[in-house]
Structure 1
Amino acid sequence: MQPLTAALTALLIAQALKIFTVFPPRFYRIIGSGGMPSSHAAFVTTLTTMIGIEYGINSDLFAIVTVFSLVIIYDAGGVRRAVGEQANVINRLIQDLDLSRLEEEREYIKSELKELVGHTPFEIFAGIILGIIIGFLAS
């Protein structure tokens, strides 16, 4: 299997697994970000694993893919998680606001910000393990 095809397969599998990692299962999770396992981590780890197997872990290509994978994994667990936590705080603040005196803002603040954007370390770890397994199976 080609590395890109395998990586996309890992992404789809991770997204499908998200349906069943909550109770009751929520089918809308297949298209959402965040959650268990990290599809970002599974996607890039599969690609990195396959490049490492194909070209060797001492190759320039493996080094490049690894660096970009680490950036994406850091972003999924660090930056995007922080955005979700900030959204949670903002949503709670908005709930406490008296919007009756803020007519022009009422239209602007009508829906909650999305809070499930990033990943916990465990969700990232699960995505990495899934990616490595799929990378080896696809090689």
Structure 2
Amino acid sequence: MESYFFLAPFLSFLFAGLIKFIINSLKIRKLAFKKIGLGNFPSTHNAISSSAFFTVLFQEGLNSPFLSIAFALMLIVAIDSLDLRNKIEKHAKAINELEKPNGFSFNLRTKIGHKPIEVFGGFLVGITTSYLFFLLVNGA
């Protein structure tokens, strides 16, 4: 089933988004539609990229030439989530503060990056989705 390689990451995207929506809704005690997007637990980006990696691993094995590409992608996304996006978050906060006295209201989003636990949560969603999908596809 060739669509397996697309469906598992897509399902990881949906599951991570659903988990994030439920957690945020429980926190604020109402449906958290305004909280949909970047940041928080679990990391959707990391769920997708880790699912791509584990999908290739489970389906093709360690000798697949695509495994190293999927691993590199997963690593880049994790580093981006933990480092680069946190730096962007700091810049957004600084820009918002700089523009207040000038009467500008950019209101740049200031929750962009992830904490390690959020990245790990995305990783768990990705591996779990890929493994369950692998079992389903292979009749195990």
Which TM class, normalised by the smaller chain length?
0.7 to 0.9
Q: Distance in 1 between matches of 2:40 and 2:55?
A: 25
Who is 2:95 aligned against?
90
Q: Cα deviations across residues 14-58 of structure 1 (Å, max 9, x unaligned)?
A: 11222222311512333x111111000000111111100111123
**Once structures 1 and 2 are overlaid, which stretch shifts more, 17-26 or 41-50?**
17-26
Who is 2:15 aligned against?
13
Who is 2:132 aligned against?
137
The residue type paired with residue 47 of structure 1 is A
Who is 2:119 aligned against?
124
Superposed CA RMSD = 1.7
Contact 1:19/1:28 (8 A) holds in 2: no
Contact 2:96/2:105 (8 A) holds in 1: no
Report the TM-score when normalising by structure 2: 0.82
Which of 36, 40, 57 is the matching residue for 1:35?
Answer: 40
Who is 2:5 aligned against?
3
Contact 1:51/1:62 (8 A) holds in 2: yes
Who is 2:80 aligned against?
75
Q: Distance in 1 between matches of 2:120 and 2:90?
A: 20
- CA radius of gyration, larger in: 1
Q: Distance in 1 between matches of 2:87 and 2:40?
A: 14
Contact 2:12/2:47 (8 A) holds in 1: yes
| Number of corresponding residues | 128
Specify every segment of 5 or more residues in structure 1 that has no aligned partner in the other structure, as ranges: 100-105
Who is 1:103 aligned against?
none
Contact 1:76/1:119 (8 A) holds in 2: yes
